[in-house]
Amino acid sequence: MKPAMKILVTTIAAVLVCPMVLNAAPRDLDPKDQAELLLSGQLPIDEVDDPRVWELLVGGDIIGNGGGIVEVRFHQIYRTLPQLLRSCLVLPQCQLSREQKILLLEILEVAKVNVDLTYKLIFLDANKAPGFFDTAPERVVRSARTGFRSQIPVFINRDHLYRLGLPALETPHILALLIHELGHQTGLLSHSELDNLGGLVSQFFANGNHHIDRVFDGFHMEWQVVNFTQPEQWRELWWSWGDHSQ
């Protein structure tokens, strides 16, 4: 069969097999069909309104979504975001402008709405979702993606989390990344504004974070103590040893 004929036959077969998927509105599709279209880059995040799609993805039915040290750290940072952002808003050490405080208040509200969602973070291997993290127009492979409203997940590119088996992101970097993505969920498109804000908040966090990093008997060991006193007092102790984290 000639190459042109092969292409024609393949195209016709695809249309015959999946006419519903190609023509139906997203809300009319089965959650699994929506998830597959989303991961292939054919369905925008903001067009998914069915929470079952997110539950399907975070549950690992379509993609493995297990957790390592860095994944656990993402969840720890997300869980403490409300306390951390309130501290940043009232303490001068955060060095925020008036406009940045307004934006951070909006991000705080998004974090409070999202924090108890089971699907607030979804970790993807880029090879299982080709094209998902390098969308147009930039064509730059991203570390994370989300939409422009609350109550949807932040998708994390697992390929960027480890280097040679070791964590590639420090806790302040994770915080800056979450600030950036939740800033988009307020409806803001500007990457530069969110990068600047994330940098200030992560520096504020680093100044209140006591970090010890050691290698013992071939295992990588890490302890972090987070201690803030305003507007309410709160402390956190995070540790990791080899593949274990808490």
Question: Is the residue at 135 inside a domain?
Answer: yes
> Does position 146 have pLDDT exceeding 70, yes or no?
yes
Quick one: tokens of 62?
Answer: 């379509």
Q: Dihedral sign for Cα 198, 92, 223, 79, please.
A: negative
Q: Are residues 104 and 121 in the same domain?
A: yes
* Residue 10 amino acid letter: T
> Does any domain span residue 4?
no
Residue 152 to residues 6, 47, 67, 172, 240, Cα–Cα distance (Å): 40, 11, 19, 23, 29
Same domain, 56 and 157: no
Q: How confident is the model at residue 130 (pLDDT cuts 50, 70, 90)?
A: confident
Q: Which domain holds residue 235?
A: 66-245
pLDDT higher than 90, residue 7: no
* Residue 85 resides in a domain: yes
DSSP 49: -
Is residue 1 in some structural domain?
Answer: no
Please answer whether residues 203 and 172 qualify as being in contact, where contact means their C-beta atoms are separated by less than 8 angstroms.
Answer: yes
**Overall domain count for the chain:** 2
In eight-state DSSP terms, residue 18 is -
Is 40 domain-assigned? yes
224 and 172 in a single domain? The answer is yes
Of 29, 62, 95, the one marking the end of a domain is 62
Q: What is the pLDDT of residue 50?
A: 94
Domain end call among 62, 79, 99: 62
Q: What is the pLDDT of residue 17?
A: 39
Q: Which of 145, 162, 163 is nearest to 154 (CA)?
A: 145
Residue 224 host element (H or E): strand 219-228
pLDDT of residue 242: 57
Which stretch of DSSP H or E encloses residue 153? none
Other CB atoms within 10 Å distance of the CB of residue 84: 24
Q: Are residues 45 and 140 in the same domain?
A: no
Do 35 and 120 reside in the same domain of the chain? no
The answer on pLDDT for 23 being more than 80 is no
187 vs 21: CA distance, rounded Å? 29
**Same domain, yes or no, for 140 and 185?**
yes
> Are 56 and 85 part of one and the same domain?
no
Taking 50 as the threshold, does the pLDDT of residue 12 lie above it?
no
Domain assignment present for residue 9? The answer is no
Q: Is the same domain home to 23 and 127? A: no
Please check whether residue 170 is in contact with residue 134, taking contact to mean a CB–CB distance below 8 angstroms: no
Neighbours of 229 (CB within 10 A): 11
Q: What digits encode the pLDDT tens for the residues 160-211?
A: 999 988 889 989 999 999 999 999 999 999 999 999 999 999 999 888 776 6
Same domain, residue pair 147 and 48: no
Average pLDDT of span 213-217: 68
Helical H segments across the chain, by residue range: 3-17, 19-23, 31-39, 51-58, 69-90, 98-114, 171-184, 191-207
**Would residue 210 count as lying in a domain?**
yes
Q: Which of 212, 159, 204, 153 is nearest to 178 (CA)?
A: 153
Domain boundary among 62, 90, 116: 62
- Phi then psi for 210, rounded to 5 degrees? -100, 120
Specify whether 44 is located in the same domain as 79.
Answer: no
Rounded to whole angstroms, how far apart are CA atoms 205 and 236? 12
Q: What is the CATH number of the domain that holds 145?
A: 3.40.390
Question: Domain check: are 24 and 110 in the same one?
Answer: no
| Between 227 and 88, the higher pLDDT residue | 88
Q: 193: burial class by Cβ within 10 Å (0-12, 13-18, 19+)?
A: middle
Spatial CB neighbours of 88, under 8 Å, sequence gap ≥ 6: 94, 96, 104, 200, 201, 204
> 53 and 174 share a domain?
no
Q: What pLDDT, on the 0 to 100 scale, is given for residue 235?
A: 72
The structure's pTM equals 0.82
Whether 196 is covered by a domain: the verdict is yes
